[in-house]
Structure 1
Amino acid sequence: MALARPILIVDDDRALRETLAEQLRAEGEFEPYEAEDLAAADVALAGGAARFDAVLLDVALPDGDGRDYTRRIRGQGVKVPIIMLTGHDTEADTIKGLDSGANDYIVKPFRLGELLARLRRHLAIFDNSDDAVFSIGPYTFRPAAKLLLEGARNRKIRLTEKEAAILKFLYRADGKPVARQVLLNEVWGYNAAVTTHTLETHIYRLRQKVEPDPANARLLVTESGGYKLNATWVPAPAA
């Protein structure tokens, strides 16, 4: 099963917010977080929105306009998909929302199936775009380019498609161990011809590329019958 993707819901309508969160969680593929206003959204997004894969944002909030907020956080470097939820349904409102930097604009009341379809589509587009950039240890990881950049040493590390997929899935686990079979199914699919030995071989080769000392792994760690990624670990500066 894929790991649940963290989604931030920003809406001052408590009943709607809680219902939407419950419905998203029931799908099994999302882990919703709630914010009642823009101030709460700022707290949740502190740190560059790394923990959220998308934002569902109301336009009319008690402490500001969601469109102005979108424009501001885009300027601060937030790249994840933003879908606006609003009761304003004129063409001018839609254009203003999209011009602010939102990826989509959905009018209330909306059907959950339509929202889910649009959310999944924008997540898929983002995952394969150059905007999907993650920090892993001393590296900047660009999944779409299958590339790790180590700025301190001006070094580029080319990854295979499977290596990039392994890193991306482990990154989304947010430091939690992922069982070998789960990782195998996610990266290779349910292919009976592929065994855990295949995964172990790819992990070995990946460690040769990314670990300062492959024999003493610090980034890509074996744990609890699987692997976890210590994305926040950074090697000590050379003496």
Structure 2
Amino acid sequence: MDNAPKRILLIDPDAALRQTLAEQLAQQAGMLPLPASTGEAALALLADHGADAALLDGVLAGEGLIPALRAGGLTGPLVLLLPAGMGVPAGADDHQDKPVRLGTLLARLKALLRQAEIVQAATALSVRIGAYHFLPAAKRLEKADGAAIRLTEKETQILDHLCRCGGMAARQDLLDNVWGYGAGIDTHTLETHIYRLRRKIRAGLGQDLLLLRVDGGYRLTLEPVPA
């Protein structure tokens, strides 16, 4: 497992709660809080530093921040902190009502992080693309002899989504899941990323494994890793 500190986005407009949670997270071994008072600030932190998990105010979540965080690269657990009486917006992994019970929240967050590490490791070892292992956490395709293709964040997300869909996904599905619903990204942007990704794969493998589907999507040749 990765021994680097887990970067926890802490997104809440309540300065007192944000400070309390940041102090508590900082006291936990292996956790690094990244506090933000707004969605814009959180997305900037995510772009600059990445994140392994997020604690998110329910009101901000209800304003559409969850898909924006996912599109920005947050793949780890997301826990909502909900004001009293608020329903649970879709897209979160867990939630807790305010006022927050710190012991319960920290226990849930640690359990979700452990589960995410296990799933991530299993995913990285269970998919092959041609002669390469796909390692989403490391953002690369890697051969047994050590030869590797480095991937950008978006290229990694595109391959990861195709793998999760069994190797096939429509253009709009990729746009929604990689860039986020309502992001205003057109198909040209996706096709540019696909073109660059195809060139990388073709150069490394001598064959073109990412194929345009007849019905307007993409197909990736997948092979299970032998046990």
Secondary structure, in 3 states, of the residue corresponding to 1:27? coil
After superposition, residues 8-19 of structure 1 pair within 5 angstroms as: 8-19=9-20
CA apart distance, 1:51: 2.1
CA contact (8 A) 2:46 2:73 kept: no
Cα distance in 2 for partners of 1:73, 1:31 equals 18
Q: TM-score w.r.t. structure 2 length?
A: 0.53
User: Could you report, residue by residue, the CA deviation over 1:20-77 in whole angstroms, capped at 9, with x for unpaired residues?
Assistant: 1111111122100111101101211227xx721100001224xxx5452113434566
Q: Where has structure 1 moved over 4 Å in runs of 4 or more?
A: 148-151
- Whether 1:60 and 2:36 are equivalent positions in the alignment is no
CA apart distance, 1:120: 1.2
Task: For 2:111, give the aligned amino acid.
Answer: R
Cα distance in 2 for partners of 1:207, 1:157 equals 6
Secondary structure, in 3 states, of the residue corresponding to 1:114? helix
Secondary structure, in 3 states, of the residue corresponding to 1:24? helix
Cα distance in 1 for partners of 2:92, 2:64 equals 10
CA change 1:103–1:208 in 2 (3 A) is closer
User: Could you report, residue by residue, the CA deviation over 1:100-149 in whole angstroms, capped at 9, with x for unpaired residues?
Assistant: x01111111122110011101211222222xx3xxxxxxxxxx2145397
After superposition, residues 139-150 of structure 1 pair within 5 angstroms as: 143-147=121-125
- Whether 1:115 and 2:105 are equivalent positions in the alignment is yes
Task: For 2:25, give the aligned amino acid.
Answer: L
CA contact (8 A) 1:148 1:156 kept: no
Point out the structure with max Rg over C-alpha. Answer: 1
Q: TM-score w.r.t. structure 1 length?
A: 0.51
Report the equivalent of 1:225.
none
Report the equivalent of 2:7.
6
After superposition, residues 205-216 of structure 1 pair within 5 angstroms as: 209-211=145-147
Q: Structure 2 regions of 5+ residues with no counterpart? A: 149-199, 205-227
After superposition, residues 174-213 of structure 1 pair within 5 angstroms as: 209-211=145-147
CA apart distance, 1:207: 9.9
CA change 1:74–1:19 in 2 (3 A) is same
User: Could you report, residue by residue, the CA deviation over 1:163-191 in whole angstroms, capped at 9, with x for unpaired residues?
Assistant: x9xxx7xx6xxxxxxxxxxxxxxxxxxxx
- Whether 1:156 and 2:157 are equivalent positions in the alignment is no
- State the aligned residue count: 147
Task: For 2:39, give the aligned amino acid.
Answer: L
State percent identity of aligned pairs.
32
Computed over aligned residues only, the root mean square deviation of the Cα atoms, in angstroms, reads 3.5
Q: Structure 1 regions of 5+ residues with no counterpart? A: 133-142, 159-163, 172-205, 213-233
Cα distance in 2 for partners of 1:15, 1:36 equals 11
CA apart distance, 1:157: 3.7
